[in-house]
Each structure stands twice: as structure tokens, then as C-alpha cells.
Amino acid sequence: MTTNAQDDARTEKPIAKGDLPNTLPRPEGELDELERIWSPPRGFHIVSAVNNIYVGVWYVGASVLFFVLAGILALLMRAQLAMPESRLIGHALYNQLFTMHGTLMMFLFAVPAVEAMGVYLLPSLQAARDLPFPRLSAYAFWAYFIGGLAFFCSLFFGLAPDGGWFMYPPLTSYTFSSGINADFWLLGIGFIEISAIAGAIEIIVGVLKTRAPGQSLDKLPVYSWAMLIFALMIVFAFPAIIVATVLLELERAFHWPFFLAEKGGDPLLWQHLFWFFGHPEVYIIFLPAAGMVSMIVPAMAQTPLVAYRLVVLAIIGTGFLSFGLWVHHMFTTGLPALSVSFFSAASMAVSVPSGIQVFAWIATFASGTLQWKTPSYFVLGFLFIFTMGGLTGVMVAMAPFDWQAHDTYFIVAHFHYVLIGGMVFPLFAAFYYWAPTTSHTPLSERLGKIAFWLMFIGVNITFFTMHLTGLMGMPRRTYTYIAAMGWGPLNMISTVGAFMIASGVLVFLIDLAKNFRPFRAKAANPWNAGTLEWLPTGEYQTRSIPIITSREPLWDQPNLARDVQEGRYYLPGAPTKTRETIITSPIDARPQYLLRMPGPTWSTVLAALFTAAFFFGLTIQIYIPAFACGALAIACVIWWIWDTDPGPDVPPVDIGGGITLPAYVTGPVSHSWWAMIVLILVAATAFACLLFSYFFLWTVNPQLWPSQPASFPHLRWPAISAALYLLSSAAVFAAGRLLARVPNRSAAPAVLALIAAILLIPLPVVIEALAQQSAGLSPSTTSYGAITYTLVAWQGFFAAVLMLMGLYTIARSLAGRLSAERRVTFDNTGLFWHYGVTQGLVTLAIVHLFPRILG
Amino acid sequence: MRAITALTIIAAGATLSGCAWILPDESHGSRPALMWIQSILVTAGPTGNAIGTLSWVMFAGAAAILLLVVGFTAYAIFGGRRTWMTNPHFVIAFGVAMPVLVLSILLLYGLSLTARSAAREQPALRIEVVGERWWWRVHYLGADGAHQFVTANEIAIPTGVPVEFILKTSDVIHSFWVPSLAGKLDMIPGRINRYQFSAARPGIYRGQCAEYCGAQHALMAFYVVAMEPDRFRTWLENHEMPASEPATALGTKGKELFIAAGCGACHTIRGTAASGLIGPDLTHFGGRRSVAAGSFPNNAGTIAGWIVSSQHLKPGNLMPSFVNLRGEDLRAVAAYLEGLK
Amino acid sequence: MNEPGDRVRARSRREHRVSGGALACVLMAVTLSGCSDALQSTEQHRLDAPRTVNGDPAKGRDLVAAVGCGVCHTIPGIPGATGIVGPPLTTFARRTYIAGIVPNEPTALSAWVSNAPSLLPQTAMPRLPISHDDATHIVAFLYTLQK
């Protein structure tokens, strides 16, 4: 088994300048072989491709599709509002339109678009051949694309959600939204959450572990930094919305009261959970876009970014601060003045990091000479619009002003300035800037500038006017307004502006249709940019993986492009005859091992299809087909991961420069271990959100928590449960020790230990449920019962997942794919097992001890 | 600041902050008759005024900062010698120091305003407002906090004294908002929010629900009518009384039809058999300015139209369209309701 | 959609045709049944000629909006005037009869607008708080509704 110490020893060799790792000429056929190995399948089977350049472009394309669709919904709304008291669109459709517009733009355009750009760009920015889990990216894309389309189609059946993208209960609970429209929202975004988290895990491990040698953290492109923080924010923010949607769906489906005041719930619980996700969400969207701008500005100004360290600090600071702001969406709920003041101050503080970035870009402009090309236009447009949005943001951070502006068109204006300025314009700049990395013709400068002016003027006409409409008192989310209010002319102006924006987007689409030809030989480096994505590439991304000594290697390392292309750097071929990339250490990017990656597969596409079918089956209440699809989805996932733990069947590989890397590692060096740790962080955050819900409901209605010891289950039950948990953990631990003797001795003892663990893990959940039931607790009578059973059910879900993982591990063992050396699968199962047991023990402690402490 | 506000309003050509959909003889030439009576910038009470002033300070500051950023950007791109702009000190000075300074000052200002808004005096009047889908139930409370009488969609208050609003909801979340007088505060199931503000001068101020509450959220408005204390006392005395008897034969017929048609199952008219609690109290309905929670002006015509086509005018509201009345009977009911001053 | 509302509304239309406008229907039928195309066009010609009305149509329009006539009538040019209670006022300038009982001319219309029951006691249209001058403006506006 490989250890850290060995790794460090192996990579101790200093990276020498001028002394390239590999010599010329390269062996005949090396490049052809590399090209062949990385080529995606042709014809219809291209769908099964997993290369990040393919998946990334499709992913971006899908997000643009949803941008256009959501934009069309916005145009319909603007048409309705152009005239007062218009009867063009009834209230029923209008309410669906604004709900879907917000939901699509946030969940199906903005987050996927920036994630997609990350999938597409990160490997080439870091000279990796692909992201560490190509099939996971493919799954994230297909789940999003298939599920998103199906979700959108709910509009055509009048089944689209109509409770607003924020879905505040009790309006969205079973009493006031009895149709399945709200379920479409809840289950519909379930897979989007899955997709976002899958992408985030991929990006965290990708940024930290697949870099060009020498690309230490202080040389990491700002965009990589932004994506790292972006993905970490998803890890900590999305679990809150997952928990919120689970709770609301439980309330809707089984009448477990979490948000119903008459049964001890509280509508504000939803608001806290939603905005704990929802506010970081804004920065989740903005940070990657700001990262893009920090790449585009230096290239367009032909000079390194000024104050790189400050900008990186600003990105990290934004990440932290954004989790302390969510209450500013709730200033009008009647919170105590103290907490209003605290969150008001925090909301203002978050504008400082943005200020740093804005002035760093201005300073960069000052130190260089701007190329007047379309990306520059969009970046300058972004600066103006985003600054406007930031300034109105400071205004609404002032609680007294927010009491007036909240939920008026002033807010609509504000966040459209922030999101269009902060995300859409950088994204369009990015489209024009990076299109040449995949398309053999760049996008048109002429059409690009026309698109820019239409969009820039259109945005200001539409949304500047909305500030005034809001100041004149027009609330949001209203399908009509009284003519006598005098808001008609302003609304008409906004509508005209909206159609202008649409025409700008149309020009962009025409440009795409005319010029964008992805996956072809790319144009040269048209902007003379300095970063690695402008190295020559093929299907394999980078012919050889360079050593980096600068933040802008193409500017500072002479002949880099030529040497890379000729194969003079690391890993010029495919020594193990499979797809490979170099895994590097997270801080200083020293090569650690060679990652062998799986190739194209239909399994991810089918897994995504069945996942979407599972969720939609549940939504439209066809349970048997739904669960069948769920089972098929799991089967496809197993098919997909079956090949991903190849084992140490290949000897260490010489990648050049005297560096020999193992082709298989286990333990904390492994990318797989990192991914599991991130997954556990996601699970732990979700669990923390559940505990928050438990304590929040208690503070609202402490009288519902039992005070008589007689009404609790006897303590022997949790004691037995705890013992069973510990036993199962011990069994897994023992299995690990027994596995160390395989294949020298039989694998049977390890398998038996695992079977014991699998049999033990569900028992505490069953005991707990029965104990609560026999103590007379009902999940649908009070919020106490509801949240207690939810904790139990949550643990039940984990027990089920652990059993599945255990069975999978046993299957690997029976197939001879598990041994002392080849044990990544087991290690992951073990890690998650111990986490699950810990979570179970904490659950027991809270459920049984907390009410007793109170009593 | 007050001067700027005034100038803006004049510039906008609307000095109409005192009028509503008033009856025709008062409304010549003022087409957008309700313009500026629901505005954040045209305020008529200390709380609203203070926020109005804050708004203008922030608009001016924001405009200055926007100009600064645009100016710097233009200078960075087109300017000649600009080495002072190209080092991290520039970024620290304008990206860190300037925002911290400006925001600290603003924050202090904002916090003092927040604290002042949170301050409570002994209110001269307590009014409980309950959000309903999609209208407002208004209870006037006595000194002991007990309900004195109930009305709907229009709140009369005396000028110059603090009034406390006790905000509740009977269904989903609503938000109580009268921009001319103060900011908004949500009505949340299971919670009671209290809000205190006053009107400095007599006038009619429009409020509207500011939290999305379902199908007809757009048509959920109300009026606050601020009057001199003397006039308010008269108003109060009038509203404490049961409904007046109809003055005309048509009205008397209308009253009989109102009871016979079963309107009393949902509506209360004090002094009659009608005692329903589902819909708005109609005891003094004729004196209100609007029908259907600020949706239409109030006169015999709109009342009649609302009764027979309420589901066309505000689809989804709880009142069915009453289509079984003959024309003259409908007129009679409308005349009766219009007469309930 | 709200089905009860729809049903109610549909019933409202039907009943209206039967009861509320019964007299109007009879009169209309009598008047129009014998009309040939030629006759109709002469009639049209007479009605299309501008009527001498002292009122200001713009003021009348504002008044129609302020009174809320649109709650019951569909009126071109008035936002939200999509009422289904009374007859639509589209092409009202070319309408031959007011409510099917009196010829459509300014004095009668002025009286009808402010006090419909005085001309037709069975009408559902109530007496409205509209002064004589205002009624003149409203009449002027209604006569702009040519198409």
C-alpha cells in the first residue's frame, strides 16, 4: 500500500528550468495512440462520450437553451405587464411564468452554466487531460439536461409550480397548493441539486488534485480559485435546500407539520433554510463569473492581473461572508432589531470584496493596453451594470430602506442588475473569449458588438426603469396593476427594453449558428493570452503536461507551446494504454500518481435518464414505475463505477524527467478519498441543517417537546441502538483488517464481517421507529413528532445507502476485485460507514437526551 | 432633502398625493388618479419621511460612486500617465478603505434609524389587521385590547399620534405596507407582528400586500385615511354604531333582498340578520373608497358589477358571482350597500 | 382555473341574455329583422355623421375610468374595462338604440349614463353619481367609439 512518505520521497526531485523532462524525437505512433485513446465514439454513440470538452460544451449549450427558454417566459410576462389591467395572460399562467422564470434562471441556467464552464475550462487551464471523474461530469450533465427539459414541459400541461421560486409555505403546503404543481418544483429540482453537488465534488477534487506540475496555489489561475470556492459553497449551501425540499415534500405528502403554525411548525423555518442556501447561491453564481473576468481582463489588457493575492483573498472572503447574510432576505418578517442590525452590517461588509475585485480590474486596465474586442465590451458592460447592482445592493442592505423596497420592483431591478451584470455579461464575454478554444472559427466581432449594444442598452432600459416603478410602489409578483396607479408608461418602457435584450440574445444565437463549430481544430491564441487553455490541444487536451513557473506561463515561459506540442514535457503519450492524467498534491502541485480514467459509457446517460424518470414518476404519482426506474438508476450507477477501481495491475510509469509515478494508490493521497471526504461534508451539512430545524422548531414551540419522562421511549432502546451502531462500525473496521490479508488468505472472513455490518446497520433505525411509535408519538400531529421521525427516517436513508454500498463492496470481493492492495472501494465504504454511524449516534443523543435535559 | 423630494414630484407633474379614485366631481383631469399615493418617495409621516431622506442620501452617494468607478475605468483605459493606478495600493485605497469608510458611516446612520423605528411609545390607538386571501380584515381595539368593531380594506387613523398595528394572518404570509407612512412588515401564521407609525398630515394613502400570497396577490390593496383627530372621532363614533337604515324605498328593498339572497352567510351588517364572518364586514361599506380590496372605485355601479361578476373580476376569490338577481333587484342591493355610510 | 367561477360566469351570460336584456332583445329583433342591407347602410351613414356634443372626449374617457364603468362593460381604450355584465361599448357610436329602448342620441345618452333607471326601470344599471356636465363629457367619449 502506498503511503504519503513514499510519495513525498518520490517527488522530491526539484523541477529544473531549461531541462525538459522528455527528449525528442518522440517515438513513432505515440501521438496517434494518444489521439485514438482519447477520441470519443463516433456517430450516435457520441452521446456516451465523457471527455470534458464534449460534456462541457453540451453542458454550456444546455444552459444557454434554458436561458433562452426562461427568457421567453420573461417576455411573456413583460407583454402582460406592458399595459395596466391587461387580460393577455391570466393570473394562473402568470404566476406559473414568474415561478418558472426564477426557477429556470437560477437552477437550470445560472448554476449549471457556471458549473459547465468549469467542466469545460478547468482541465485545460490546469493542463490536465480531463477532470478526475469524467463519468460523474457526464452524469451531472445528463441528469440536469433530461430532468430540466421534463421539468420545463410541466408548463405545457398547466402543472408548472406557481408558488414563486422561493416557494414560501404555507402558500405552497397542502392546504393552499393542493395540486401537484408544487411537487414538480420540489422533486423537479431534486435532480438539479444532485447534479450540482456531483459537479461540485468533481470541481473541488479537480482543482486541488489535477494541476500542471509546479502550478502551486499561488500560481493557480484566479478562475480555478473562484471555481474551488464556488464548489465549496455548493457543498455547504445546497444541503440546506435539500433539507428544506425534503421537509416540505414530507409535509405535502404525509402532512408532517414543519411549517404549519397550527401544529407547531413555523413558516420562518423554511425561510431560514431557503435563504441559507439562497443567498450564497447569488455568490455561487457571481464568483465563477468574476473569476472569468479576472482571466479575460489581463488577456484583453495584455498585462498580468494587478493585486492577484488581494483578488484571491476577496474571493475566499466572499465565500465566507456570503453565509452570514441570509437573514437580509427576511428583514420584513419582524426580527429583533439586534439581529437586523447584525445582518445589515454583514450585508454591507460583503461589498468590500467586490470592491477589491472591481478596482483590481480597473488597475489592470491602467497597467495595460486594452484590445477593443467583443469580450472587452462585455467586460466593461459587466463593470457598469454590476457596479449599479452592487450600489443598490448596499441600499437594500440598509434595513429601513429594505422595509420599503423589499418585494417591490426596486428589488427586481436590483437583482437583475446584479445577476445580469454579475453573471450574464461575464458569461457572454467568456463565450466570445473562449469560443476559439473549441471552434475553428471565432465568433463574429461585428455580430458580437451588435449583440452587446442591444443587450447593454436593453438591460438599462428595462431595469433602470424598474427602480422607479418600485419607488412608486409597485410590488413584485403581481400579474396586473390598476391603471390609475400611473405605472403603465414605466412598465411599457421596461417591456420595450426586455424585447431589446431578447433581440441581442437572438443576434448572439445567429452568431453561434453561423460561426460556432465546436470540437474542431481550434484557432490559434487570438487574444495572445497567457494561460494554459491557449496551449495547442487535441482530443487529449495537452500533448504533454508542462511544468509551470508562472501565473501566465505562455507569456513568461518561452517556447512553452512548442515544447508542449512536441511532447517534451511530462506524459507525452499513453503509457498504460488508457486515458490518464497526473494527480498532483493540493498545495504545491507535485506529481503524486498517474490516474487511469474510464472512457465513454452509456451507463451515465442511462443512470441520468432513470434518475429523472424516478423523480418524475414520484411527482406524477406512478409509484411502481418510479421505483422500478430508481432501481434501474442504481443498477446503471453500479455498471458505471464497476471499472473505476482498476487496482495495481500496472507497474509504476515513467512520465519523463526521471519521475516515476504509481498508477494506483489508496488512502488520503487518492482522488477518490478526497471525493468521499467532500461527499461526507455534504452529508454532514445536510444533517446539521436537520438539527438546526429540530432546535429551531423547539425554540418556536418549546411546549410541544415532552416534559414527562413517561412519554419518552425507555432509555434502554437508544442504548441498544447505540450498541448495534458501534458493533456495525466495529465489523467494518474488522473487515478492513481482514482485507489486509487478502489475497494471501481467503476473503471470506472480511466478507462475513461486512455481511454482519450490513445486517446490523438497519436495526437501530427500526428499533428507534418502533420505540417512538410505542411511546405514542405521531409524526403528523405536532412539529415535535414530525422532526423526530424525520431524523429517524433520515438515518434510515443512510442505513439503506450503507447497505447498498456494503453489498457492492461484497460483490467486488466475490468478483475478485477487492484485496489488500486494491481496496479503494472498501476504503470509501468504510469512511462513509463510520460517518453514518457517527450521525446515527448523534441522532440518538439528540432525540433521547435533549428532551430529557429539558425535562 | 425635503426640497428635492418636493421638486421631483413637481417635475413629475403630479401633485396629487391627496386624492384617490375619487368620485367624478372631484377628479377632473387627473387621469392616473392614484399616482404617488403609494410611493416610497412621497411620504406623509415621520417614519416614511426618515426613510425617504435616507433614500435620497443613498441615491446621491450611489450616483457619486458610480461616476467615480466609470471615471476611473475610462481614465484607466484612455488616460495617459497612470502608474499610480497600477499597484495594489490603489486597489486597497479604493477597494477597501473607501468602501469601509463610506459603509461605516452609512451603517451608523442606518442603525440609528433602525433603533428609532424599533422604539415604541404608548400608542394612541391600536388596530389589528388580519391578512386574508385577498383582502384585509381590520379590527379596532379598545383600551383593554378587546375588539370594538371590525371593518375591511380601509383604515382610518387620526393624524399626529402614534398608531399601533397588530399584524396577523388567517391563511398564508401577507405583508402589510403603506409606503407613504412606513415600510412593510409581514403577517406570518403563528406570529403576531407589531408596528407603530403615524401620519403627519391628513390624506389618503394606499397600501398593498407585498408578499406573494397566491392567485390574486395583485389585487389586494387598501387605503389608510388619515384625518384630523376631531374628524376621526366622528368617524369612530359613526363606525361604532350599527348600520344605518336605508333612506330610500329602493334601499329598503335592497336590504330585504340582501338578507333573502343569503349574503349574510358570509357578510356581517351590524343591526341586521347578516352576521357571516367569512367575507368583509359591510356595516359601513358605502363609506369606503373601493370595492374588492382596492381593486375598483366604490359606487352603485361597481358594487352591482362586483356582485354579479366577482369571479370574472377577481378570479379565485371566495365570493361567487351572484347571477340570480333580476336587474332591478341587483340595483336595489347595490343601492342598499352604497347607502351604508 | 377556478371552475365554479367559470360556471357561474357562463350562467351569468346566459341569464343575462334571457332576463336582463329581454326587452332590449325584443325591440332589437323588431327593429332589425326587417332591415335590408341598403337600409342599414343609410342608417349607418346617418349615425357616422359627427354628432354635435359639447363635451370633451378626453375628459369623458378619464371619467369613465374613474367611475369604473369597465367593471360591467367592455370599453375600447380603457385599461381593464373588460366587464361582462352589460353590453360591450365597442362601436357604441354606431349603436342604434340605447339599451334597445331609446334612439342613441346625446340627450338620451346623457340621461342614461347618469340615471339609467329613469329611462328603463327594469335595468340592472344603477343610477350613478355623475353630474350633468360630466355626463356630457362621457357622452362625447362614447361617441368616439366608432370601431
Give the three-state DSSP class for A264. coil
Which three-class secondary structure string do you get for chain B?
A: CHHHHHHHHHHCCCCCCCCCCCCHHHCCCCCCCCCCCCCCCCCCCHHHHHHHHHHHHHHHHHHHHHHHHHHHHHHHHHCCCCHHHCCHHHHHHHHHHHHHHHHHHHHHHHHHHHHHHHCCCCCCEEEEEEEECCEEEEEEECCCCCEEEEEECEEEEECCCCEEEEEEECCCCEEECCCCCCCCEEECCCCCEEEEECCCCCEEEEEECCCCCCCCHHHCEEEEEEECHHHHHHHHHHHHCCCCCCCCHHHHHHHHHHHHCCHHHCCECCCCCCECCCCCCCCCHHHCCEECCCCEECCHHHHHHHHHHHHHHCCCCCCCCCCCCCHHHHHHHHHHHHCCC
Show the domains of chain B with their CATH numbers: 2-118 (no CATH), 125-239 (2.60.40.420), 249-338 (2.60.40.420)
- Measured on CA atoms in the order B227, B228, B233, B237, is the torsion positive or negative? negative
pLDDT of A703-722, one tens digit each?
Answer: 999 887 777 889 999 999 99
pLDDT of A96-108, one tens digit each?
Answer: 999 999 999 999 9
Quote the CA–CA distance of B40 and A291 in Å, as a whole number.
37
* A10 pLDDT above the threshold of 60: no
Quote the CA–CA distance of B304 and C117 in Å, as a whole number.
14
In sequence order, what DSSP letters do the residues of C68-133 get, joined into one string? TGGGT-B-TTSTT-B--SS---TTGGG-SEETTTEE--HHHHHHHHHBGGGT-TT-SPPB----HH
Cβ of residue B297 closer than 8 Å to a chain C Cβ = yes
Give the three-state DSSP class for A538. strand
- C-alpha angle A835/A233/A323, rounded to 5°? 105
Q: Report the pLDDT value the prediction gives residue A259, as an integer from 0 to 100.
A: 97
How far is it between the farthest Cα atoms of chain A? 88
Cβ of residue B117 closer than 8 Å to a chain A Cβ = yes
Q: How many CB atoms lie within 10 A of CB C26?
A: 11
Q: Report the pLDDT value the prediction gives residue A18, as an integer from 0 to 100.
A: 57
Q: Report the pLDDT value the prediction gives residue A62, as an integer from 0 to 100.
A: 97
Of all residues in chain A, the one with the smallest CA distance to B42 is: A472
Q: How many CB atoms lie within 10 A of CB A770?
A: 12
* A478 pLDDT above the threshold of 90: yes
Q: Write out the CATH class of domain C3-142.
A: mainly alpha
Q: How many CB atoms lie within 10 A of CB B112?
A: 12
Residue with cell 370599453: C75
pLDDT of A528-545, one tens digit each?
Answer: 999 999 998 888 988 999
CB within 8 Å: C79 and A87: no
Nearby residues of A16 by Cβ (< 8 Å), 6 or more positions away: none
pLDDT of A42-54, one tens digit each?
Answer: 999 999 999 999 9
pLDDT of C29-61, one tens digit each?
Answer: 434 433 444 444 444 444 444 566 788 999 999
Q: How far is B195 from chain C (nearest CA, A)?
A: 33
Q: How many CB atoms lie within 10 A of CB B13?
A: 8
CB within 8 Å: C79 and A86: yes
Nearby residues of A348 by Cβ (< 8 Å), 6 or more positions away: A394, A397, B103, B106, B107
Q: Report the pLDDT value the prediction gives residue A706, as an integer from 0 to 100.
A: 86
Q: How far is C13 from chain A (nearest CA, A)?
A: 19
Name residue A275's amino acid.
W
Size of interface B-C (CB pairs under 8 A): 132
Q: Report the pLDDT value the prediction gives residue A523, as an integer from 0 to 100.
A: 64
Pick the closest to residue A318 from A248, A406, A222, A402 (CA basis). Answer: A222
The CA–CA distances, whole Å, from A190 to A15, A185, A235, A241, B65 equal 46, 8, 15, 9, 42
Partners for A (CB, 8 Å, 3+ pairs)?
Answer: B, C
Residues A134, A598: contact at Cβ < 8 Å?
yes
* A633 pLDDT above the threshold of 80: yes
pLDDT band at A14 (very low <50, low <70, confident <90, very high): very low
Phi, psi (degrees; rounded to nearest 5) at A550: -155, 165
Interface of C with A (CB under 8 A): 1, 65-66, 70, 78-82
pLDDT band at A522 (very low <50, low <70, confident <90, very high): low
Cis status, amide bond into A25, omega within 30 of 0: yes
Q: Report the pLDDT value the prediction gives residue A168, as an integer from 0 to 100.
A: 96
Q: Which helix (H) or strand (E) holds A291?
A: helix A267-301
Q: In what order do the strands lie in the sheet with B203-208?
A: B154-158, B221-227, B203-208
CB within 8 Å: C65 and A92: no
What is chain C's pLDDT, residue by residue, as a tens digit (147 residues)? Answer: 344 444 434 444 443 433 344 434 333 443 443 344 444 444 444 444 456 678 899 999 989 998 999 999 999 989 889 999 999 999 999 999 999 999 999 999 999 999 999 999 999 999 998 999 999 999 999 999 987
Q: Report the pLDDT value the prediction gives residue A36, as an integer from 0 to 100.
A: 93
CB within 8 Å: B315 and C2: yes
Q: How far is A603 from chain B (nearest CA, A)?
A: 42
Mutate to test the interface with B, among A303, A315, A401, A479 (most CBs of B within 10 A): A401
pLDDT of A798-826, one tens digit each?
Answer: 999 999 999 999 999 999 999 999 999 99
CB within 8 Å: A488 and C79: yes
Give the three-state DSSP class for A595. strand
Complex-level ipTM beyond the 0.85 threshold: yes
Residues of B in contact with A95 (CB under 8 A): 214-215
Cβ of residue B314 closer than 8 Å to a chain C Cβ = no
pLDDT beneath 70: ranges in chain B: 1-32, 80-81
In sequence order, what DSSP letters do the residues of A305-329 get, joined into one string? PTTHHHHHHHHHHHHHHGGG-GGGG
How many residues does the structure list for chain A?
855
Size of interface A-B (CB pairs under 8 A): 270
* A7 pLDDT above the threshold of 60: no
Cβ of residue A302 closer than 8 Å to a chain B Cβ = no
Q: In the structure grid, which three cell numbers stand for residue A615, read together?
A: 423523480
Residues of C in contact with A85 (CB under 8 A): 70, 79-82
Q: How far is C80 from chain A (nearest CA, A)?
A: 4
pLDDT of A409-419, one tens digit each?
Answer: 999 999 999 99
The CA–CA distances, whole Å, from A373 to A297, A367, B75, B282 equal 11, 18, 18, 67
- Over range A442-469, report the average pLDDT: 97
Residues of C in contact with B304 (CB under 8 A): 72, 85, 124-126
- Residue A501 CA, chain-centre distance (Å), reads 28
Q: In the structure grid, which three cell numbers stand for residue A400, read together?
A: 429601513
pLDDT band at A191 (very low <50, low <70, confident <90, very high): confident
Domain with CATH 1.20.210.10 in chain A: 52-515
Residue with cell 459537479: A199
Q: What percent of chain A has pLDDT over 90?
A: 86
Residues A390, A354: contact at Cβ < 8 Å?
yes
Quote the CA–CA distance of A363 and A355 in Å, as a whole number.
12
Confirm or reject CATH 3.40.50.970 for domain A687-854, answering yes or no.
Answer: no
Name residue A358's amino acid.
V
CB within 8 Å: C80 and A92: no
Quote the CA–CA distance of C79 and A562 in Å, as a whole number.
69
CB within 8 Å: A168 and B177: no
pLDDT band at A294 (very low <50, low <70, confident <90, very high): very high
Partners for B (CB, 8 Å, 3+ pairs)?
Answer: A, C
Nearby residues of A426 by Cβ (< 8 Å), 6 or more positions away: A289, A290, A292, A293, A296, A378, A379, A382
Residues A256, A789: contact at Cβ < 8 Å?
yes
Q: Report the pLDDT value the prediction gives residue C39, as an integer from 0 to 100.
A: 42
Q: Report the pLDDT value the prediction gives residue A188, as an integer from 0 to 100.
A: 77
Cβ of residue B311 closer than 8 Å to a chain A Cβ = no
User: What residue segments make up the domains of chain C, in order of their start?
Assistant: 3-142
CB within 8 Å: A483 and C80: yes
Q: Report the pLDDT value the prediction gives residue C6, as an integer from 0 to 100.
A: 42
Q: How far is B36 from chain C (nearest CA, A)?
A: 16
Fold of A52-515: Cytochrome C Oxidase; Chain A (1.20.210)
Cβ of residue A77 closer than 8 Å to a chain B Cβ = no
Q: How far is B158 from chain C (nearest CA, A)?
A: 27
Residues of C in contact with B331 (CB under 8 A): 117, 123-127
Quote the CA–CA distance of A38 and A315 in Å, as a whole number.
34
- Over range A225-254, report the average pLDDT: 96
Mutate to test the interface with C, among A80, A81, A83, A85 (most CBs of C within 10 A): A85
Q: Report the pLDDT value the prediction gives residue A496, as an integer from 0 to 100.
A: 98
Cis status, amide bond into A170, omega within 30 of 0: yes
Cross-strand partners of B154: B223
In this complex, the residue of A90, A92, A483 whose CB is nearest that of residue C79 is: A483
Rg (CA), chain B: 25
Q: Report the pLDDT value the prediction gives residue B81, as an integer from 0 to 100.
A: 63
pLDDT of A382-411, one tens digit each?
Answer: 999 999 999 999 999 999 999 999 999 999
Pick the closest to residue A23 from A654, A548, A661 (CA basis). Answer: A654
Residues B257, B330: contact at Cβ < 8 Å?
no
* A348 pLDDT above the threshold of 80: yes
Q: At what angle do helices A267-301 and A425-434 cross, to 10 degrees?
A: 40
Q: Report the pLDDT value the prediction gives residue C18, as an integer from 0 to 100.
A: 37
Q: Which helix (H) or strand (E) holds A579?
A: strand A579-584
- Measured on CA atoms in the order B50, B52, B56, B62, is the torsion positive or negative? positive
Output A221 or B1, whichever has higher pLDDT. Answer: A221
How far is it between the farthest Cα atoms of chain B? 90
Quote the CA–CA distance of C42 and A174 in Å, as a whole number.
63
Q: Report the pLDDT value the prediction gives residue B32, as an integer from 0 to 100.
A: 58
How far is it between the farthest Cα atoms of chain C? 47
Domain with CATH 1.20.120.80 in chain A: 687-854
Quote the CA–CA distance of B8 and B249 in Å, as a whole number.
51
Q: How far is C41 from chain B (nearest CA, A)?
A: 33
Q: Report the pLDDT value the prediction gives residue A337, as an integer from 0 to 100.
A: 85
Cβ of residue B23 closer than 8 Å to a chain C Cβ = yes
Cross-strand partners of B130: B137, B168
Q: How far is A92 from chain B (nearest CA, A)?
A: 6
Q: At what angle do helices A337-349 and A351-367 cross, to 10 degrees?
A: 10
CB within 8 Å: A403 and B183: yes
Mutate to test the interface with A, among B186, B187, B193, B224 (most CBs of A within 10 A): B186
Residues of C in contact with A84 (CB under 8 A): 79-80
CB within 8 Å: A355 and B94: yes
Pick the closest to residue A8 from A769, A674, A587 (CA basis). Answer: A587
Of all residues in chain C, the one with the smallest CA distance to A158 is: C1
A524-530 — which CB contacts under 8 Å span 24+ positions?
Answer: A524/A436, A525/A554, A525/A561, A526/A436, A526/A442, A527/A299, A527/A300, A527/A371, A527/A373, A527/A375, A527/A433, A528/A299, A528/A302, A529/A295, A529/A298, A529/A299, A529/A554, A530/A298, A530/A299, A530/A304, A530/A554, A530/A555, A530/A556
Phi, psi (degrees; rounded to nearest 5) at B339: -80, -5
CB within 8 Å: A480 and B173: no
Output B126 or A7, whichever has higher pLDDT. Answer: B126
Q: How many CB atoms lie within 10 A of CB A520?
A: 10
Partners for C (CB, 8 Å, 3+ pairs)?
Answer: A, B
Q: Which helix (H) or strand (E) holds A582?
A: strand A579-584
Of all residues in chain C, the one with the smallest CA distance to B332 is: C126
* A490 pLDDT above the threshold of 70: yes
Entry pTM:
0.92
Q: Report the pLDDT value the prediction gives residue A46, as an integer from 0 to 100.
A: 94
Q: How far is C130 from chain B (nearest CA, A)?
A: 7
Give the three-state DSSP class for A541. strand
